[in-house]
Amino acid sequence: MSQSNTWSAWINRWLFSTNAKDIAILYFIFSLFGGVLGSVFSLVMRLELAAPGEQILLGDHQLYNVLVSAHSVLMVFFLIMPLTAGFFGNYLLPLMLGAPDVSFARVNNIAFWLYPPALTLLIASALIDEGPGTGWTVYPPLSGIQSHGGASIDLVIFALHITSISSILSSINFLTTVLNMRTLGMTMTKLPLFVWSIIFTASLLLITLPVLTAGITLLLLDRNFNTAFYEPAGGGDPILYQHLYWFFGHPEVYILILPVFGIISHVISNYAKKPIFGKLGMVYAMGSIGFLGLLVWSHHMYIVGLDVDTRAYFTSATMVIAIPTGIKIFSWLATLYGGSIRFTTPMLYAIAFLFIFTIGGCSGVLLSNANLDVAFHDTYFVVGHFHYVLSLGVVYGVFAGYYYWSPMMTGLYYNPTIANIQFWMMFIGTNITFLPMHFLGLNGMPRRIPDYPDAFTGFNALSSLGAVMSVGALLLFAYVIYDQLMNGLTNKNLSTNALWKNPDFFESNDIFNSNQIKSSSLEFLLTYPPMYHTFNTLPIQS
């Protein structure tokens, strides 16, 4: 393709792009928009909650709920999904497979360009009428026509429709690519763990998104065409919506975390200088987590009146997920054990991920218990739990991935000192934000309220302080990217993250010095940044 600087060449490359690496960059830029919006909304929420009484929203409690809805949908659908599957998946999956591109390159383009209209619809939903004050779950009857009369909810539904179409197209694309475009000799058991994580993510998306789409389409019909799927007066049942929603909603959290599992495996293996411990076990653990994730949705609905046997089943099934998750944590620790560990920025994030994700996992086991959940349901304990696994767990994984692969992707290096400071700010800030939420929840503070009794003041103030620190860390991250783009080559000399600085422990100095171009992962052998078209002659492996 022509690389000239003409306007049409630019449009051809970036608007009509069929190159997975370029589309990945577009996903990254797009997700920055989603991330900034979602973070600003969360900051506004925390400022409102910084003290009892009305703070900055002037007593508009519907507006607070709109912020909650927008924050959650933005973070899940417009930050993490485009980042993990869209950015990392599109960039790394073909490179790790030794494939020149994804299987359906033009479908890839459509999948990306469905996102901007979806974001427009979502933002529009918050700006017109009274906005959607429903949270990301959009439960009827709150989301019904009597409670939300305007077009806001309809726009949210359309936004979710469009992102669903996009994700389904991407998933089909990734699965076909993995099944058909692995390079010579690369059997499924030899696939890198990140590729396996994308396989399970794409499978979960394909299985669950049609159910979500059906659920919200029935809601759309209830709202606009006088049907009564969720309306008891017409013989419907709002609990049906909850089942349909959570059949998607619970696997969705695994869709968010599975690619991060893949990223963390690569980072830990590289900076511990050891192959990942029990690689096949890791693959089966990811598969088990994905499969079990499809069978536990009603643990989000313990207090809707499920009978005791149902609750017993969902409690047990949910607790079983701790087993494959434990296998993964164990294997990561076993990889670290005895390794030649280098505490680079991505490694700091990866180790922090292990710590944080274990805490989030343990609070998850508490919540999986139907008896305890009667007390915990809809309290800040739940908010604390899922932010530990998502806002800390997934986001740390994404940061680890960015710091790990961005020098390869751009050919430009970040300043490791500033990046390490950014890590510590983020680590301290997010923990100060979300740890107190557990105590607030245990003391009975409910979710999704803009005001609270004075008794909750202390922990809320602390949490809001942490939120401000976290936003500071995000601003510093923006500077890290700026510095990387402007001074990337100078930073290379400062970098402690050069991948092959010293010989592996099973390698003689002689072999190391005569042959530094090598890697246990294919993408690091390419030029930095990789060529527009990689692999003219396909790689070959045994």
Partner 1 sequence: MLRQTLKLAKPTRLFSTSVIARNSVKTPKKFKTAKNLSEVHSEYDLIGTGAQKGEVPTDLEQATGLERLELLGKLEGVDIFEQKPLDTSRKGTMQNPILIDSYEKYRYIGCTGSPAGSHIVMWLKPTVGKPARCWECGSVYKINYLGKD
**Interface residues with partner 1 (CB under 8 A)?**
98, 184-186, 190, 275, 279, 504, 506-507, 511-512, 514-515, 517-522, 524-525, 535-537, 539-542
Given 46, 300, 377, 385, the catalytic residue: 300
13, 61, 243, 447: which one is catalytic? Answer: 447
CB nearer partner 1, residue 7 or residue 506? 506
243 is catalytic: no
Instruction: Check if 332 is active-site.
Output: no
71 is catalytic: yes
Residue among 281 and 472 whose Cβ is closer to partner 1: 281
From 22, 48, 101, 231, the catalytic residue: 101
Per-residue three-class SS string for 448-515: CCCCCCHHHHHHHHHHHHHHHHHHHHHHHHHHHHHHHHHHHHHHHHHCCCCCCCCCCCCCCHHHHHHC
Nearest-approach distance from CB 288 to partner 1, in angstroms: 22
Is 265 a residue of the active site? yes
Catalytic-role residue among 91, 115, 136, 413: 136
Catalytic residue among 21, 46, 266, 328: 328
Residue whose tokens read 């830990």: 268
Minimal distance, residue 535 CB to partner 1, in Å: 8
Is residue 167 part of the annotated active site? The answer reads yes
Is 387 among the residues known to form the active site? no
Residue 475's CB is within 10 A of a number of other CB atoms, namely: 13
- Closest distance of CB 509 from partner 1, Å: 11
CA distances from 291 to 104, 197, 230, 261 (A): 27, 13, 28, 16
CA dihedral 517, 521, 525, 529 (to 10 degrees): -140
Which of 474, 465, 482, 397 shows the shortest CA–CA distance to 431? 465
Distance CA 524, CA 96 (A): 9
132-171 burial by CB neighbour count: b if 16+ within 10 A, else e? bbbbbebbbebbbbeebeeebbbbbbbbbbbbbbbbbbbb
Q: Would you list the DSSP string of 69-137?
A: HHHHHIIIIIIIHIIIIIIIIHHHHHHHHT-SS-S-HHHHHHHHHTHHHHHHHHHHHHHSTT---STTT
What's the rounded Cα separation, in Å, for the pair 375 and 382? Answer: 11
Active-site hit among 17, 72, 134, 265: 265
The question of whether 254 is a catalytic residue gets the answer yes
Cβ at position 167, least distance to partner 1 in Å: 24
Q: What is the C-alpha to C-alpha distance for residues 453 and 53, in angstroms, rounded to an integer? A: 8
CA gyration radius, the chain: 23
Cα 196 to Cα 170: distance, rounded to the nearest angstrom: 15
CB of 518 to partner 1, least distance (A): 5
Compute the least distance from the CB of residue 258 to partner 1, in Å: 22
Closer residue to partner 1, CB minimum distance, 96 or 244: 96
Of 60 and 507, CB closest to partner 1: 507
In the set 254, 349, 388, 414, the catalytic residue is: 254
Structure tokens at 225: 């065409």
Q: Is 252 tagged catalytic?
A: yes
Identify which of residues 57 and 97 has a Cβ nearer to partner 1 in the complex. Answer: 97
Per the annotation, the verdict on 533 as an active-site residue is no
Is 385 assigned a catalytic role?
A: no
Minimum distance from residue 510 beta carbon to partner 1 (Å): 10
Catalytic residue among 21, 46, 71, 182: 71
CB 321 within 8 Å of CB 296: yes
Supply the minimum distance, in Å, between the C-beta of residue 287 and partner 1: 20
Closer CB to partner 1, 73 or 96, in the complex: 96
Cβ closest to partner 1, residue 185 vs residue 234: 185
Closer residue to partner 1 (CB): 475 or 511: 511
Between CA 209 and CA 376 the distance in angstroms is 28
Q: What's the maximum distance between 2 C-alpha atoms anywhere in the chain?
A: 80
101 is catalytic: yes
> Looking at the annotation, which residues are catalytic?
71, 101, 136, 166-167, 250, 252, 254, 265, 299-300, 325, 328, 447
